[in-house]
Amino acid sequence: MELKEKAGALLKIAALNEGAKEYILNNPELFKLLLKAAKRYIGGEKMEEALATAKRINDKGLPTSLEFMGESTRSVEESELVTQHFLDLINKVKEEKINSIVSLDLSHIGLAIDKDLAYNNLVLLAESAHKKDIEIVISAEGVDRTDDIINTYCKISPDFSNVGITLQAYLNRTPKDLERVLNETQGKIRIVKGAFAVPPGHAVERGKHLDDLYINYIETLFLKNRRCSIATHHNKIQNRVKELIEQYDVPKSKYEFEMLLGIQEDLLNETYKEGYSCRQYIVYGDEWYLYMCNRIAENPDNLFQAMVDIMS
């Protein structure tokens, strides 16, 4: 393992260290420095900041996805507050005529407390979003929650075509999950590579085999005429997917290249200028520490950029 890869792996471990996180976030000087690095990857700490970021991106012609990030809620009251926040976000997106979908973690609206609680909260959001012609996409989480996430999605999808799901290409279980989702649901399917730590034997390591799996999943979605999101920054994968789009004459309404704020934005802009359907993913909120660490760790070169941001 190269030095940069080791640095990325260590950063992921540090991100999960609650003691380190608490120390950094409660130290005014360290907090200020790290927030400078985080601002590259987040739309702001407040909803208003994220909406302004989305408008700026819309002005360039790109639609967005907005996610209020946060850790698993641990009480019914907290899950209700978060659900209300998402309801407010949906209302604001409609009122301010922002071209955006909404993404969320089911654990953020109560999945870690009770499956029915999360489902009921999701129904509230789906109903509100449906009335406003806004799409919701359920984000991926750790493999220990995948069953509950898939089950919840399959339960709600027959009533709400505006709700989509995220599947992780690196999980060994994904072929069966994809087959089930294709048979039982109707919403958009977002494919990500997957970045959560998993027990041995549960996932494919990064490399050519995973890249091929990812491309095969997208090709399956094209052949099934299913709306999908190609959520990757991998240039070679994108180029192969573009070939498939031309091969199958896939209409722009059936796919989108979805990329994260602050990561390879030149690639997103280039893809958009080439005439492909694109979307920029914006997260916001004050729980940015883990998200920032993971973004930097995914590509160790981002560590150097973070140092530049901190020193600027």
Q: Which residues fall in the annotated binding site for FAD?
A: 168, 193-195, 232-233
Pick from 145, 55, 118: nearest CA to 92: 55
152 neighbors 118 (Cβ within 8 angstroms): yes
Tokens of 232: 């990757």
Q: H or E element: which one contains 18?
A: helix 18-25
- Nearest-angstrom CA–CA distance, 58 and 115: 35
Judged by DSSP in three states, 257 sits in strand
Q: Residue 11 — φ and ψ, nearest 5°?
A: -65, -40
Residue 296's contacts (CB-CB under 8 Å, 6 or more residues apart) are 8, 11, 37, 302, 303, 306
- Nearest-angstrom CA–CA distance, 228 and 199: 28
Residues flagged as binding site: 168, 193-195, 232-233
Q: How many CB atoms lie within 10 A of CB 37?
A: 24
- Nearest-angstrom CA–CA distance, 269 and 57: 11
181 neighbors 229 (Cβ within 8 angstroms): no
Pick from 129, 43, 142: nearest CA to 86: 129
E strands present in 98-252: 100-104, 136-138, 163-168, 189-192, 228-230
Residue 53's contacts (CB-CB under 8 Å, 6 or more residues apart) are 43, 44, 64, 261, 282, 284
